[in-house]
Amino acid sequence: MEDITLKIEKMKCQGCVEAMRTALEALDPKCIVSADVPGKLLNVRLSTLVPEASILSTLESIGYPANLVKK
């Protein structure tokens, strides 16, 4: 398992989190997504090896550009 934290400036509500969860589950169906909406942080626990670039491009493609905070 790998945990990453992303800063997502456009994240405003739980609906945003659900949209990102759905997109990330397409990359890793067993991923666990949690969020700090006020802090604009998205935590992703991956069950498989997914390239960082794939995660970032997937989120950007649905309108949520992200920056890696920590891995």
- 69 three-state secondary structure: strand
Q: Has residue 6 got a pLDDT over 80?
A: yes
Q: What is the pLDDT of residue 71?
A: 62
Yes or no: is domain 2-70 CATH 3.30.70.100? yes
Residues 21-68 have pLDDT tens digits of 999 999 999 999 999 999 999 999 999 999 999 999 999 999 999 999
pLDDT value of position 20: 98
Residue 1 has pLDDT above 70, yes or no: yes
Give me the helix-helix angle, 14-27 and 52-61, nearest 10°. Answer: 130
